[in-house]
Structure formats: structure tokens, C-alpha cells
């Protein structure tokens, strides 16, 4: 691709001026909340044509198709599919976005790469550790560019915080990291099971995961509260902050992982993920500690979901909304708020469920992905980094399950001297689906 064409890929709204022949053909698997958020941000920054959408919920699928037809330049309505295999069998997609529940990440991701597409894969990249390892090995074997949806790496105010206070050494010697989420995001109550709504293929929705009767607490959007389909709040929220810390401090795999968890305040909820959890990711010279509660109040109202990096010269607080640098001794606290881009992208204001403060980060993440696609380089949230952050959170859940600290061996992708814990690195698949690591 020429320098001029590359510039058009990573430009702002003016990218739509690119010639039609340069448009990448795009497909989306998973047309719910974040699938649409991601796809619409891509349309804002790149000359692409959305040609196919896939979802097992016909209501979501048709609604997404109507929305995209009204937003893309061609005004063409994407073709719709209920089965990702049929969508990918057309082999006419350059780019595929995947925003399904966690248990449906691995098989579509691998199939999309085998069908010739580069990939934007939501986090966590997998529901178990060996799925993630197989996604990584497939991407490397086929030479695919995979960007993981850990868009904190593309969040403008966090990039500034890294450059000003981490890269310059302004924090001094960093000795400890705290991460947290105090959002009340776990499903409450115990609604009855019922027949799935018309147009929803519930058996396919459950797919390779254990089958549970349909319940409105699970779908839509409640599935993160169920271990069958996700990795709980660690897989949803901790991964973002752990990945942020790893990126900022240039950390690889943790050497040891430990965790305790339980349903302390709301044990009667239908949810089966813990309402309270504590995890420690030990990187040798540095420990990053995670805490979440889905009850009570937050210790810091300005940073209810955050990472806090402590050095001997200052403390750096980080969130999706802002950062704050607090120096020790003389010096003033520095605070920066997120900069939204409603002036450049006024359509954001009317988009239902869009986290408007996150939209600039998604746009930056998409531009970075497309630049890597053009150069065949690695994006900022390359699949290997996504695997490390995803697997680390999954390992913390395993540590809580087996009630002991895990020593991780990244070379063998196994838990050292612990066959029982290593046996939990791959979940059993429900027939007829086959685990990709088998």
C-alpha cells in the first residue's frame, strides 16, 4: 500500500474520501452492545464496506443490519447470517470483528483467520487458557494481524500519563500496583427460566459451553455473571487494568498468581461468579493486586474502576475517565480528564448505550489496527499481549477454585508441579463442538 493510501487509512473522518476500490470488506460476528460500538467506530475512521453480519439473535441481527445500512457510505444493507461458518464460507472478508460472549471467541476467531481475514477480537480473547494459546499460534502460523479490544492502550489521556510519568521516570522506583472495580455489575435476583424469545437460537447461543435453560438474567448482556459463558469480573474488568499496567510498565507473564473469591453479600443470586474477589499477580520484583466488590461503596469516588501505580517519588492513578499524578514532597497534583470528540463525531451523542468517553479510544485502536494491517506489523494490543492478559485473569479464577497459588510456566503453557490446576486450562466442550487445542 502506498504512503498516501496508508495515510487515508489512519486519518479521521476524511478517510471516506478514499477510492471505492481501496475499501476493505468487513464482517461482524456478535451484533450486541459492543459489537455495534466497535463496528460504528471503524466506520468513522476508515474507508470500509460492511458486507456481512452474524448473530444467533435475529432481533439483534436485523437491527444491526438496518443501523449499518444507514451509517455506511454505500448505504448497502449487509447480508445477515445466523451461523458464522456460513458467513465465513463466502471467503470475501478482509477484516472480521468478533464481539460475542467469551465462550464463543475461539472457534469463530480461528475460523475467520483460516478464511483469510485479519481480526479485531474482543477481550478476553478466550474463555480458557488453551483456547487463547491456540488463537495465538493460529495467528502466527497464518500471518494474521489480530488486535485485541484492550483499548486502554489507545486511550489518549492514558498514553499521555505513560509518556509523562512512566517513561520519564517521574514515579521513581515503582514498588506496588493496586487495581480495582467497585461497580455493582453482577446480576441480582433469581428470575425463573423460560422459553427463549422468538428468533433466538438458544442452543447455538450456548454452543460449546454447558447448556442452561434460557433466562433473561443471562441474555442479553447478563452472561458475564455466569462462569459457563465468561470469566466473571476478572475477565471483564480486571483484564483491562492488568493489561494497562503490563503495557505501561513493560511486564510479561506473572510468575505466580493467587486469588480468593466468594459470594459474600448476595449468595442467593442466580449469578455464579463471585461478588467479592482478591487476586495477586506476582511479577517477581513487583506485585499487582486486584480487588472487586459488587456491593458497598468505592474508597475513591473519582476512581471506582482503576489502576494505581505507586513509586517512591509519586503515585499515578489511572481510569477510563481521567488520570491523576500525585508527587511526594513538593509539587502540585496534576489531573487530566478524558477528552471526548463530540465536535468531530456528533453522531456519538445520539448513539444508544455508547460509552461516549470510550469512543476516542476505540477509534484510536481501530486506526492502529488498520495501520498494522497495511504494514503487516503488530498492533499495539497484539494477540500475544491479549493472550497474556486474558490467561492471567483466567488463571486467577483457577487459583481461587483450587485454593492455592499457581506458578505459571509460559514456555509449556502449564502450571508448574500442579497437574490438577493444569487440567483446568481447557474446558470440556459440549458436543458436537470440538476444542481447538485437541
pLDDT in tens, 363-398: 999 999 999 999 999 999 999 999 999 999 999 999
**Domain total in the chain:** 2
Query: Phi then psi for 236, rounded to 5 degrees?
Result: -95, -45
Mean per-residue pLDDT for 323-340? 95
Q: What is the pLDDT of residue 388?
A: 98
Q: What is the pLDDT of residue 14?
A: 32
The grid coordinates listed for 437 are 487445542
On whether residue 375 sits in a domain, the answer given is no
Say if residue 82 is in the same domain as residue 141.
yes
Say if residue 134 is in the same domain as residue 203.
no
On whether residue 101 sits in a domain, the answer given is yes
Say if residue 157 is in the same domain as residue 53.
no
Domain ranges, residue 267: 153-345+383-422
Q: What is the pLDDT of residue 330?
A: 86
- Give the residue from 109, 131, 151 where a domain finishes: 151
- When the pLDDT of each residue in the chain is averaged and rounded to a whole number, the result is 94
pLDDT tens column, 166-207? 999 999 999 999 999 999 999 999 999 999 999 999 999 999
On whether residue 71 sits in a domain, the answer given is yes
Say if residue 120 is in the same domain as residue 191.
no
What confidence tier does 216 reach under pLDDT thresholds 50, 70, 90? very high
On whether residue 437 sits in a domain, the answer given is no
Say if residue 220 is in the same domain as residue 128.
no
Whichever domain contains 39, its CATH number is 3.40.50.720
Does the pLDDT at position 430 exceed 70? yes
Q: What is the pLDDT of residue 54?
A: 98
What confidence tier does 56 reach under pLDDT thresholds 50, 70, 90? very high
What confidence tier does 69 reach under pLDDT thresholds 50, 70, 90? very high
**Closest Cα partner for 205 from 189, 184, 221?**
221
Say if residue 13 is in the same domain as residue 73.
yes
On whether residue 147 sits in a domain, the answer given is yes
Say if residue 163 is in the same domain as residue 25.
no
Does the pLDDT at position 99 exceed 70? yes
- Strand order across the 48-54 sheet: 79-81, 48-54, 24-29, 95-98, 118-121, 146-148
Whichever domain contains 300, its CATH number is 3.30.360.10
Say if residue 173 is in the same domain as residue 112.
no
Could you tell me the pTM of the whole model? 0.94
On whether residue 356 sits in a domain, the answer given is no
What confidence tier does 22 reach under pLDDT thresholds 50, 70, 90? confident
- Give the residue from 117, 151, 185 where a domain finishes: 151
On whether residue 274 sits in a domain, the answer given is yes
Say if residue 308 is in the same domain as residue 294.
yes
Does the pLDDT at position 12 exceed 60? no
Does the pLDDT at position 106 exceed 70? yes
Q: What is the pLDDT of residue 9?
A: 35
Say if residue 82 is in the same domain as residue 186.
no
On whether residue 354 sits in a domain, the answer given is no
Does the pLDDT at position 224 exceed 60? yes
Q: How far apart are CA 89 and CA 86, in angstroms?
A: 5
Distance of alpha carbon 216 from the chain centroid? 23
Does the pLDDT at position 19 exceed 80? no
Q: How far apart are CA 46 and CA 69, in angstroms?
A: 16
Say if residue 336 is in the same domain as residue 401.
yes
Q: What is the pLDDT of residue 10?
A: 38
pLDDT tens column, 253-288? 999 999 999 999 999 999 999 999 999 999 999 999
Residue pair 104/207 in contact (Cβ under 8 Å)? The answer is yes
Q: What is the pLDDT of residue 352?
A: 85
Mean per-residue pLDDT for 113-131? 98
Say if residue 104 is in the same domain as residue 165.
no
Amino acid at each position: 500500500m502506498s504512503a498516501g493510501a496508508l495515510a487515508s487509512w489512519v486519518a479521521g473522518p476524511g478517510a471516506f474520501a478514499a477510492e471505492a476500490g481501496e475499501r476493505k470488506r468487513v464482517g461482524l460476528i456478535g451484533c450486541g452492545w459492543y459489537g455495534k460500538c466497535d463496528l460504528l467506530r471503524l466506520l468513522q475512521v476508515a474507508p470500509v464496506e460492511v458486507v456481512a453480519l452474524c448473530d444467533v439473535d435475529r432481533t439483534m441481527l436485523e437491527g444491526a443490519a438496518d443501523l449499518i445500512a444507514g451509517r455506511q457510505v454505500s448505504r448497502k444493507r449487509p447480508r445477515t447470517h445466523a451461523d458464522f461458518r456460513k458467513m465465513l464460507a463466502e471467503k470475501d472478508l478482509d477484516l472480521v470483528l468478533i464481539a460475542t460472549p467469551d465462550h464463543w471467541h475461539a472457534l469463530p476467531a480461528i475460523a475467520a483467520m483460516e478464511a483469510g481475514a485479519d481480526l479485531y477480537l474482543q477481550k478476553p480473547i478466550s474463555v480458557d487458557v488453551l483456547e487463547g494459546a491456540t488463537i495465538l499460534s493460529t495467528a502466527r502460523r497464518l500471518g494474521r494481524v489480530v488486535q485485541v479490544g484492550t483499548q486502554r492502550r489507545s486511550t489518549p489521556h492514558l498514553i499521555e500519563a505513560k509518556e509523562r510519568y512512566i517513561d520519564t521516570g517521574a514515579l521513581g522506583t515503582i514498588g506496588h500496583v493496586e487495581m480495582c472495580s467497585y461497580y455493582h455489575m453482577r446480576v441480582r435476583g433469581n428470575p425463573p427460566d423460560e422459553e427463549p424469545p422468538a428468533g433466538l437460537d438458544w442452543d447455538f447461543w450456548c454452543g460449546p459451553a454447558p447448556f442452561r435453560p434460557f433466562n433473561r438474567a443471562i441474555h442479553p448482556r447478563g452472561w458475564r455473571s455466569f462462569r459457563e459463558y465468561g470469566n466473571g469480573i476478572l475477565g471483564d474488568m480486571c483484564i483491562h487494568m492488568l493489561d494497562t499496567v503490563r503495557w505501561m510498565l513493560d511486564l510479561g507473564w506473572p510468575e505466580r498468581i493467587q486469588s480468593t473469591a466468594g459470594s459474600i453479600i448476595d449468595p442467593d443470586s442466580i449469578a455464579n461468579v463471585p461478588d467479592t474477589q482478591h487476586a495477586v499477580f506476582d511479577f517477581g520484583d513487583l506485585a499487582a493486586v486486584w480487588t472487586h466488590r459488587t456491593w458497598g461503596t468505592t474508597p475513591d469516588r473519582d476512581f471506582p474502576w482503576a489502576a494505581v501505580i505507586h513509586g517512591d517519588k509519586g503515585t499515578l492513578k489511572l481510569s477510563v475517565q481521567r488520570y491523576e499524578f500525585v508527587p511526594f514532597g513538593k509539587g502540585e497534583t496534576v489531573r487530566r480528564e478524558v477528552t471526548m470528540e463530540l465536535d468531530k463525531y456528533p453522531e456519538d451523542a445520539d448513539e444508544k448505550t455508547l460509552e461516549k468517553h470510550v469512543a476516542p479510544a476505540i477509534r484510536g485502536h481501530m486506526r492502529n489496527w488498520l495501520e498494522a494491517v497495511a504494514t503487516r506489523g503488530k498492533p499495539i494490543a497484539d494477540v500475544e499481549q491479549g493472550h497474556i492478559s486474558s490467561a492471567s485473569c483466567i488463571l486467577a479464577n483457577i487459583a481461587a477454585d483450587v485454593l492455592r497459588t499457581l506458578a505459571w510456566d509460559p514456555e509449556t503453557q502449564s502450571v508448574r508441579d500442579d497437574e490438577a490446576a493444569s487440567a483446568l486450562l481447557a474446558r470440556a466442550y459440549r458436543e458436537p463442538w470440538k476444542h481447538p487445542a485437541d
